[in-house]
Chain A
Amino acid sequence: MTSKSFASLAEPVARLVEAFNKLPGIGPKNAQRLAYYLLRSPDEEAKALAEAILALKEKIKLCSVCFNITDQDTCSICQDKERDHSKICVVEKPSDIPPLERTGKYNGVYHVLHGTIKPAQGIAAEELKVTELLFRLQDGSVTEVIVATNPNIEGETTAMYLQRIIMPLGIRVSRLARGLPFGAELEYADDMTLGQALDHRQEF
């Protein structure tokens, strides 16, 4: 099915243009350019792209432990015996893990919530992987949960909720520090951040 806007194109081209157009950040012009590029490109290149897309949907599933995306039953991080399994870092989405890994400062494991509590959109804790997190905490081997949700109102709500339900289990709950980002200017900092930066100032 092609909509009217691409009706002047040949059917296979119009189908592809429309598919590209659905991707985030790709407008109708971009979509057409991509489609015409693929039309001119060698067969192998187009095939490789098609296969990569299919493989993405077929092979990728969620890790049975931490719910990160993986192509195995448990992800490489959860399988790694070298890592510290007594620390769990809770993140909102799988794409939050690579930047934390890049810091090279964290050697624990992760837990992906797949969202945050969004009251106005009807997303409560039940919709997130919170029960699964509590299940992981049951055997007593975990000593610290680091809540690394985004420092915005929904991330904070989620963090405060997690703190509320995990604290009674006798497990340390910590939160990523909030402060001034590298390259920022004090003049433009918002009051909440600057206040937090002052509260948690560090000795040299």
Chain B
Amino acid sequence: MGTPRSYQTETIIIKQTKFGESDKLITFYTPEFGKLKAVAKGACRPGSKLGGNVEPLTYSLMLLARGRNLDIVTQSQTIDGFPALKSDLWYTSCGLYILELIDSFTMENNENRPLFDLLLDTLHQLCQADSTEIVLRYFELHLLHHLGYRPQLHRCVMCNSPLKPVFNFFSSSQGGVLCPHCSQEEPGVRPLSVDALKILRLWQDCNYATAKRVKVKSELSSELKQVLQGYIVYLLQREVKSVVWLEELKKSLDNHGGGD
């Protein structure tokens, strides 16, 4: 017997693009197979039973049929549509940023169950977050960990000496923190305050519940954002496009009051 003609899997839908006249090409993340792509036939038509079940930011149970080139979505049942997340502009935008990161960092057919669990957990956390910034930073840090880019935060990556509680430096190209002495020989490093280092160390080894208990002042929050996003841009070798939108949106929300 060869491989079965159809298979069922939990998925989180990452993105969809129009495909032909009324089909959609769906990209989604699964616990068993990593990232996959499949065609949802007729999903653009009103009344399609797939339509609303294959929207990005949806956690669903999918039945797929193996096709010659692309698999075909035959059924999709939403497990969680994250309505709280989708009905808020800021949360939705954060969700789309997370999906873009997953999409950019992963390859098709590359299983990574912890990453799936992190993604699902993060989307749940976003829905109920009082501070989305913490959730985003926690996600970025753990995404890097699950992909094998876990930053070294305890010893200097050059001389391996334990870091002292002084202003150290973060090097994206070395993937970790440099002591003040070693940082002089390394171009393109970013200063990292003692508080920022402490928080990163804590977040690296704790769960969401503990991470969210930490109070992060806005100055520190933007420092953490710069360090992590700088590292991500270095690894991807390109900008993360959603960041532009998130910044634009944040500015307009701050002007009109609202968001968090």
Contact = CB atoms under 8 A, between A and B. Distances in A.
Given A153-B57, A153-B92, A192-B52, A119 B241 contact: yes
A184 interface: yes
Nearest to B257: A168
Interface residues of A, number: 30
A102 B22 CA distance: 20
A23 B151 CA distance: 48
Nearest to B20: A25
Given A120-B99, A190-B53, A125 B248 contact: yes
B86 interface: yes
Contacts of B56: 153
Contacts of A168: 256
B96 A190 contact: no
A165 B103 contact: no
Interface stretch (B43-51, B163-171, B178-186): B43-51
Contacts of B57: 153
Contacts of A52: none
A157 B92 contact: yes
B89 interface: yes
A164 B256 contact: yes
Contact of A153 (B51, B96, B252): B96
B78 A190 contact: yes
Nearest to A160: B89
A146 to B, nearest CB: 18
B92 A156 contact: yes
B256 A157 contact: no
Interface string B84-97: 00111100110011
Nearest to B96: A119
A126 interface: yes
Nearest to A163: B89
A117 interface: yes
Nearest to A188: B49
A193 interface: yes
A134 to B, nearest CB: 12
A18 B100 CA distance: 35
Interface of B: 15-16, 20-21, 46-47, 49, 51-53, 55-57, 78, 81, 83, 86-89, 92-93, 96-97, 99-100, 103, 241-242, 244-246, 248-249, 252-253, 256, 258
17 contacts: A25-B20, A119-B96, A120-B96, A120-B99, A124-B245, A160-B87, A161-B89, A164-B252, A164-B253, A164-B256, A185-B49, A188-B49, A190-B51, A190-B52, A190-B78, A191-B52, A192-B52
Given A119-B246, A120-B15, A191-B52, 18 more contacts: A117-B245, A119-B93, A122-B245, A124-B245, A124-B248, A153-B55, A153-B56, A157-B89, A160-B89, A164-B252, A181-B46, A183-B47, A184-B47, A185-B49, A189-B49, A189-B52, A190-B51, A191-B81
